[in-house]
Amino acid sequence: MSRRQLDGLDRDIVQWLSRDARISNRQIAAELGVTEGTVRARIKRMEEQRQIRITAVTNIDRFRDASLAYIWIEVERTHQVRAVARELAAIPELGFVGEMLGRSDLLAITMVRNNEHLAEFVHSRIGTIEGVRRTESTLGVNFVKHDYRMARIVK
């Protein structure tokens, strides 16, 4: 299956879905001046080609008893970065794992109850992975803006 680039109509559909994934295909079609079948087919194609995934997103503002923890990870050797990243990605508590440019090799993000919970998690789950040289953790304390629709800026 060849993967095609998103065109303007695809991006418009995604923008509507990013505001409210429960919006009907009929309503999107009416807003964009196309048929409901066109919207349905395009959404199906984008899902099949893994260009989009429609999912529910937790509103982190609702978790007053939890903090978002950013765990910056340095790896011992450059050739170990991908292997460490794969091991991190297998940890269910981590919602994000990414290879980074700059001071740290990897970034992992999770939710924790408090400082002690973060320390226990880092020491028992991350520090034990072969190739991890050093970690540095920071806690998000006040989120001014949290928007999972960031992909819309990429064209």
Class of domain 8-48: mainly alpha
Do the two domains 8-48 and 60-140 of this chain adopt the same fold?
Answer: no
Alpha-carbon span 59 to 72, nearest angstrom: 23
Q: pLDDT, tens digit, for every residue of 14-69?
A: 999 988 889 999 999 999 999 999 999 999 999 999 899 887 766 666 666 778 89
Tokens of 150: 């960031």
Task: State how far Cα 130 lies from the chain centre.
Answer: 25
Q: Which residues of 69-90 are buried (b: 16+ CB within 10 A; e: fewer)?
A: bbbbbbbeeeebbeebbebbee
Report yes or no on whether pTM surpasses 0.85.
no
Class of domain 60-140: alpha beta
Q: pLDDT, tens digit, for every residue of 66-114?
A: 788 999 999 999 999 999 999 999 999 998 999 999 999 999 999 898 8
Domain boundaries, the chain: 8-48, 60-140
